[in-house]
């Protein structure tokens, strides 16, 4: 059974643990890359026992087109997507299948469907190796969204969320993604960007990536396209 990590919201001059960013075509909360003309927010979240690396975020692009895949929604979603997420929505984490990439996408889609009746995102398998490279780059000194901003690989996506220095994949999928969704809609983007990326209807697919540093800390990114 996965243990859920408690997250602390940190505000510091040089950032924090969870980040979101947007490139010329993407955005995210505590793990994302920023567009050329976007400011870098300074908020981040970290697991209770983790140090806080720099964290940034940027709003999602405004020119991305819709393209959600067909998929069944819960029976109580007959009325279509909700304008806002259900308050206090904390769905039971998806089962651990042994494939963290699939579980990560399934968890994101779980929040979208069960908490706001949104259609699912497709698993972007062809972009997972790049997501892994970005996570490795960031964990080895690049910092949150460093690989995304530097364009270390492609396809990188249009927006990114990131969970830096987490204890395990299970805690990222159960705890970090819940923390991101809990930000909910609102302004400024620096406080709600992770949720905005996760719930956006501008994106049709998502690729997750993971890298564990020599000291055992996990860096995890989610790239939206």
Q: What is the pLDDT of residues 176-186, one digit of tens each?
A: 999 999 999 99
Q: Quick one: 24 exposed, middle or buried, by C-beta within 10 A (0-12, 13-18, 19+)? A: middle
Q: What is the pLDDT of residues 40-75, one digit of tens each?
A: 332 333 443 333 333 334 334 333 333 334 345 676
Question: What is the reported pLDDT for 211?
Answer: 98
Question: Cβ of 73: how many Cβ atoms within 10 Å?
Answer: 16
Query: pTM for the whole thing?
Result: 0.73
Dihedral of CA atoms 169, 16, 197, 73 in degrees, nearest 10, equals 40
Question: What is the reported pLDDT for 78?
Answer: 87
The answer on pLDDT for 9 being more than 70 is no
């Amino acid at each position: 059974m996965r243990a859920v990590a408690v997250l602390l919201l940190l505000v510091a001059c040089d950032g924090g643990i969870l980040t979101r960013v947007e490139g010329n075509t993407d955005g995210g909360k505590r793990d994302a890359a920023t567009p050329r003309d976007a400011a870098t927010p300074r908020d981040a979240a970290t697991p209770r026992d983790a140090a806080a690396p720099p964290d940034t975020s940027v709003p999602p692009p405004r020119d991305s087109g819709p393209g959600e895949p067909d998929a069944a929604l819960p029976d109580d979603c007959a009325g279509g997507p909700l304008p806002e997420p259900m308050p206090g929505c904390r769905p039971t984490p998806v089962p651990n299948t042994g494939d963290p990439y699939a579980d990560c996408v399934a968890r994101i889609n779980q929040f979208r469907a069960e908490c706001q009746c949104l259609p699912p995102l497709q698993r972007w398998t062809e972009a997972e190796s790049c997501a892994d490279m970005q996570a490795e780059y960031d964990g080895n000194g690049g910092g949150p969204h460093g690989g995304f901003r530097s364009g270390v690989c492609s396809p990188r996506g249009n927006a990114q969320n990131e969970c830096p220095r987490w204890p395990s994949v299970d805690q990222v999928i159960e705890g970090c993604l819940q923390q991101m969704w809990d930000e909910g809609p609102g302004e400024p983007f620096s406080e709600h960007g992770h949720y905005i990326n996760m719930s956006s209807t501008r994106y049709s697919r998502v690729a997750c990536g993971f890298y564990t540093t020599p000291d055992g800390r996990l860096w995890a990114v989610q790239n939206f396209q």
